[in-house]
């Protein structure tokens, strides 16, 4: 049953804020059907520290194979409001 849940929700459910090995901060939008460790994401902060324009979201569909999640972040602690970003 656990494996079925992971395949449905992924390792990083929608709304999870994560830091990648490359240094980007991303928001998980949905699981990847091919690899539960590589969700479809919206870039919140690029590795260089810049942020995409709100009206031009940058998406990773899914997280590239040469990158990986290294840390799950608390969105409130880092100043991210997840709900509006998921609804957009």
Three-state DSSP state, 66: coil
How much is the pTM?
0.86
Beta bridge partners of residue 45, listed in sequence order: 25
**20 lies in a domain?**
yes
Do you find a cis peptide bond into 33, omega within 30 degrees of 0?
A: no
* HSE of 1, CA atoms in CB hemisphere, 13 A: 0
pLDDT in tens, the chain (88 residues): 666 666 666 688 899 999 999 999 999 999 888 888 899 999 999 999 999 998 899 999 999 999 999 999 999 998 999 998 887 6
Give the structural domain span for 31: 2-76
**44 lies in a domain?**
yes
* HSE of 24, CA atoms in CB hemisphere, 13 A: 19
Do 60 and 68 contact (CB within 8 A), yes or no?
Answer: no
**46 lies in a domain?**
yes
């Amino acid at each position: 049953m656990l494996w079925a849940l992971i395949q449905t929700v992924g390792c990083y459910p929608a709304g999870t804020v994560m830091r990648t090995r490359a240094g980007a901060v991303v928001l998980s939008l949905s699981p990847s059907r091919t690899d539960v460790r590589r969700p479809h994401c919206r870039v919140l902060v690029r590795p260089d520290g810049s942020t995409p324009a709100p009206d031009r979201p940058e998406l990773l569909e899914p997280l590239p194979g040469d990158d990986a999640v290294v840390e799950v972040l608390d969105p409130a602690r880092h100043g991210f409001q997840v709900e509006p970003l998921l609804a957009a």
